[in-house]
Amino acid sequence: MKTKTILMAAGLVLASSAAYAASWTGGDDLPTNPLACDATPGEVVAKPYDGGVPTNAPDRNGKKITVVDVPKLIGVGYFSATTKGQAEAAKELGNVDVKTDGPTKANIDEQITFIDNYVTSGVDGILFAANDPVAIAPVLKKALAAGINVVGYDANSTPDARQWFVNQAEFNGVAKSLVDNLAKEIGEDSAFAIVTSTFTTPNQARWIAEMAAYAAKCHPKLEFLETVEAQEDNVLSFNQATTLINKHGDKLKGIVGMTSVATPAAAEAVTQSGLCGKVAVVGLATPNAMKPYVEKDCVKSVVLWNPVDLGYAAIYVLRAAADGTLKPGDTSVKAGKLGELKVVNGSEILLGSPFVFDKSNIGQFDF
């Protein structure tokens, strides 16, 4: 990760697209792969399996298994939706018992403790959505060493700390959708800021890095102002968005929310500031949380995927891993009603492309 000096510099206002591309935005240091500026799909390059392997795992093929899901936090709509999908898949399969348990705040230390307790007490499978990809790795490796099947979803760990990761959408696809919608709403030469959870949250850091690369390539006049942390906390997200509005004044034309908490909180901050139509909010969120703002035309577009489907797919992937029907080198996996899902990047299962909710369709969804 970045040094303390760079972390302090992250709040500086950047004045040009060149500075935007070269300076830290809250993204990670991994290579980026920005998609084409038009609708040309990107190519997925085959990679060898890079996931981990459980040590001396018992024969679980077709047998009933006990699974615990430890997401970033519980009590928010997004992970309530993934839990719903997991329950649906478990009921369909008939040989999976799954429960969700975890911290009430997005705290990596608490998440590690929860996982460690389940490794000690004994389960057949662990699902997780990581608050920090590196910090969570040792406890997940401990699970693998105990013969437990380990599958991530939503937010990855280091690959060798789990068997498979169910990726809701490819990072560059999410980045393209967010930036294209932002540019459409605020114009090509306007300024925006980002509200994320933490600078170490893996999926959000990856999206932001890809956003920076794609914006520099396809929307070079967009001006990035800063990224602020809000810890997946509703009150803090609202306060951070309000601070951005007050700090940057008329210069701020858009706020991008990187979490299902930050985006509706930012929309509420814009609403209470009387800036609907003047400051656009684009981001990742569940449709139910955003319906009031979309219906009032304060928010034009919301980018996401179906988190119910994400949780559903995660159970099918873990079941296949436990059965031995999903093995290193496979190119796809059967996931019930979702059909065949592709294996990409060595050990990732791709749910699909991001979806844009707007006034024309948001009423059709209930999660």
Question: For the domain with range 65-169+306-344, which CATH number is right: 3.40.50.2300, 1.10.420.10, 3.90.1150.10, 3.40.50.10170?
Answer: 3.40.50.2300
Tokens of 221: 């006049």
Q: 4-39+170-304: which CATH architecture?
A: 3-Layer(aba) Sandwich (3.40)
From edge to edge, which strands make up the β-sheet containing 355-357? 223-229, 191-196, 252-257, 280-284, 302-304, 355-357
Decide: 139 and 81 in contact? Cβ < 8 Å: no
To the nearest whole percent, how much of the chain has pLDDT over 70?
92
Mean pLDDT of 296-319: 96
pLDDT at 5: 30
Extract the tokens encoding 162. Answer: 């789990």
Q: Is the dihedral of CA 186, 215, 205, 151 positive or negative?
A: positive
Going from N- to C-terminal start, the domains of the chain cover 4-39+170-304, 65-169+306-344
Q: Give the end-to-end CA distance of the chain in Å, rounded to a whole number.
A: 34
pLDDT score for 39 = 78
Q: State pTM to two decimals.
A: 0.84
- pLDDT tens-digit readout, 28-60: 999 999 999 997 876 666 689 999 999 999 999
Residue type, 297: D
How large is the average pLDDT for residues 337-364? Answer: 94
**What is the pLDDT, as a whole number, of residue 45?**
62
- Topology match between the domains 4-39+170-304 and 65-169+306-344: yes
Mean pLDDT score, 116-120 = 98
Per-residue b or e along 2-39, where b marks 16 or more CB atoms closer than 10 Å to that residue's CB: beeeeeeebeeebeebeebbeebbbbbeeebebbeeee
Q: What is the pLDDT of residues 52-101, one digit of tens each?
A: 999 999 999 999 999 999 999 999 999 999 999 999 999 999 999 999 99
Over the stretch 169-213, which tens digit does the pLDDT of each residue have? 989 999 999 999 999 999 999 999 999 999 989 999 999 999 999
Burial-class residue 125 by CB neighbours within 10 Å (0-12, 13-18, 19+).
buried
Q: Which amino acid is at 85?
A: G
Is the pLDDT at 337 greater than 70? The verdict is yes
Cβ atoms of 363 and 355 within 8 Å: the answer is no
Mean pLDDT value across the chain: 92
Summarize the confidence of residues 279-283 as an average pLDDT. 98
Q: How confident is the model at residue 298 (pLDDT cuts 50, 70, 90)?
A: very high
Q: What share of the chain in percent tops pLDDT 90?
A: 86
